[in-house]
Structure 1
Amino acid sequence: MKILTANRLTDGEAVWFAADGTWAETIDVAETVDDKAGEARLEAIGKAAHDNNEVVDVNLIDVSLVGGTIHPLRLREVIRAAGPTNRLDLGKQARPSAGAA
């Protein structure tokens, strides 16, 4: 299973392409795909957003669903989804609405 992630160009915030067609600041609303056609569609969306100067560092990443919650498989993506590992009072993990990444 894969999702599309990037960094918003205006402020560098890690974002994920959401099922509603927007770039979300939290991974929990990311659109998941599990076939080559879905991956190709997300890649095209990411390329268009990159070409329109909305996002940079666009990537499809591997995730798993555990109890309906999206979990990145790579440590880099776990950190991007939550925030810095040395300061739990900063980043996405410090927000009141933060879920478990």
Structure 2
Amino acid sequence: MKILTANRLHDGEAVWFGTNGHWNEALAGAAIAVDDETVTALKRIGAEAFENNQVVDVELIDVELADGQILPKRLRERIRAAGPTNRNDLGKQARPAISRAA
């Protein structure tokens, strides 16, 4: 399983392409690719968003589902989803509306 992630160009915020067709600040609701066709579609979406100067550092990342929540397999991606590891009062982890992935 893979999801599409990037950084929003105008503020650098880590974002994920969602099932709602938009780049979202929360990992929850990310569009999950489970087959080659969906992976190809997400790659196309990422390339178009990059070309339109919406996002940078577009990447498909490996994820798994744990208790119904999306969990990135790599620690780096878990940290991007939550925020800095040295300050729990900063980043996404400080926002109650965004679930913590790390």
In the TM superposition, residue 100 of structure 1 has moved relative to its aligned partner by: 2.8
In the TM superposition, residue 68 of structure 1 has moved relative to its aligned partner by: 1.1
Amino acid at match of 1:96: P
Matched pairs, number: 101
Question: Aligned equivalents of 2:68 and 2:42: distance in 1?
Answer: 20
Q: CA RMSD in A?
A: 0.6
In the alignment, structure 2 segments of 5+ residues that lack a partner are: none
Question: Aligned equivalents of 1:98 and 1:48: distance in 2?
Answer: 26
In the alignment, structure 1 segments of 5+ residues that lack a partner are: none
TM superposition score normalised by structure 2: 0.97
Q: After TM superposition, which residue ranges in structure 1, 4 or more long, deviate above 2 angstroms?
A: none
Listed as ranges, the matches of 1:1-101 within 5 Å are 1-101=1-101
Alignment deviations for residues 9-62 of structure 1 (CA, whole Å, 9 cap, x no partner): 000000000001000000011010111111000000000000000000000000
Percentage of pairs with the same residue? 60
Amino acid at match of 1:81: A
TM superposition score normalised by structure 1: 0.98
In the TM superposition, residue 98 of structure 1 has moved relative to its aligned partner by: 2.5
